[in-house]
Amino acid sequence: MHKRKILASVAILGAFTLAVAGCSGGSGGNGDGGSGGDEPVSVGFAQTGSESGWRSANTESMKTAFSADNGFDLTFNAADNDPAAQIAAVRSFINQGVDAIVIAPIVEDGWDDVLQEAADADIPVILEDRTVTASEDLFASWVGLDFHKEGVTAGEWAAETFGDTPTKIVVLEGTTGSAPANERASGFDEAIDGTAIETIDSQTGDFTRDGGKTVMEGFIQKYGIDGIDLLYAHNDDMALGAIEAIEAAGGVPGEDIKIVSIDAVKDGMQALVDGKINYIVECNPLLGELAAGLVTDVLAGTAVEKKNYVEDQSFTQEQAAEVIDSRLY
C-alpha cells in the first residue's frame, strides 16, 4: 500500500499549512462541509481523553476544523482513556445516525465489532492520530504520524550521542496497548540495537505528567540518580513529570540524567531550551483540517488514500530556541 506523505511544515515553525489537495467541493471553510447543501454534516468524534498538552492541542484543532462555520455539526466525546467508554461513544454515534465518525483510538485492539456495526449502518469511519488492528476494510482512511519513525529518530539520537559508552536507560511508556506506545518502543529499540545502551527498566506512565513523575520516582528509588544515565519518554508530559522527580531527588535533569522525548509541545520545548530535556522528536497534533478534508472527500465519494502521514521534525536545544516563540502549540 502506498503512503501519501502530507508535508506539514511552515518554514521553521513546526506548524503546518493545512491544505488537502483534490477535495471535491473543498474541505471545511466553505460553509457546507463539502456536502453541497445547506444541511450541516453531522460528525461524531471519539477522542481518547485529555491526558496531555498534545491531546488538548489535538482536540482544539479538531473542534476548530469541524465547526459550524465550516459546515459541520460535531458531537464530541472524550473517553478519559477508557477503551470501553470510547467504544460505547462510537455505538452512540451510530445510533444517532451521524453522517461520519472520527476516532482517535485509545488502544489498537477490540475495534472489529463496533467498526462492523458502523459499516453495516453505512457510516464511514476516519481514524485520526492512532491506528487499530481491525481490518482496513472497516475504516475509510487514517491520518496521523509515523510513530515507529518517531521512535527510530529518538533512538538514532541516543545511539549517536552515547556511541559505544555503556549507558543505562529507563523508559516511560505510553498507554499500554496504544499504537504510539507500541511503535515508539519498537522504533527506538531498533535504532539502539547493537549499541552499548542497556534498558534496565520500562514502565507505563499513561502519557500523563503525574504518571511520568510517579514512575520516575520509583526508578530513582530503585536505581538512584547515579544508576540511570538516560531517560526515554514516549511523550513530553511524562518527561516533564520525570523532571520534577529528578529535581526532587536532588538531581539535575539534562545533565545527571539525559532525556529524550517525543511531542514538542510548548512546555516540552521550553524544557529543551532550558537544558532539562536534551532532544525532542515532534509529533504534530494539528490534524483537524486534514481529518475534515478526508470526511468531506469520503462523503462526496472521492477516492482517498488509506493512510495519510504527516511529516515530523526533531529539535536540539539550539533549534528549539530558534522556533519556540512562534510555535502554534
Q: What does the pLDDT look like over 78-132, one tens digit per residue? A: 999 999 999 999 999 999 999 999 999 999 999 999 999 999 999 999 999 999 9
What is the Cα–Cα distance from 76 to 271, expressed in whole angstroms?
A: 32
**47 and 110 belong to one structural domain:** yes
Q: Is residue 69 part of a domain?
A: yes
Give the CA angle between residues 155, 59, 18 to the nearest 5°.
75
Q: How confident is the model at residue 5 (pLDDT cuts 50, 70, 90)?
A: very low
Q: Nearest CA to 161 among 173, 151, 153?
A: 153
**22 and 46 belong to one structural domain:** yes
Sign of CA dihedral 173, 206, 262, 220: negative
The fraction of the chain above a pLDDT of 70, given in percent, is 89
State the chain's mean pLDDT as an integer.
90
Q: How confident is the model at residue 311 (pLDDT cuts 50, 70, 90)?
A: confident
Check which CATH number belongs to the domain holding 238 and give it: 3.40.50.2300
At 218-258, the pLDDT tens digits run 999 999 999 999 999 999 999 999 999 999 999 999 999 99
pLDDT at position 181:
97
Range of the domain at 209: 147-282
Number of domains present in the structure of the chain:
2
Q: Is residue 326 part of a domain?
A: no
**129 and 8 belong to one structural domain:** yes
**161 and 205 belong to one structural domain:** yes
**101 and 116 belong to one structural domain:** yes
At 133-165, the pLDDT tens digits run 999 999 999 999 999 999 999 999 999 999 899
At 19-53, the pLDDT tens digits run 333 333 333 333 345 444 579 999 999 999 998 98
pLDDT at position 29:
35
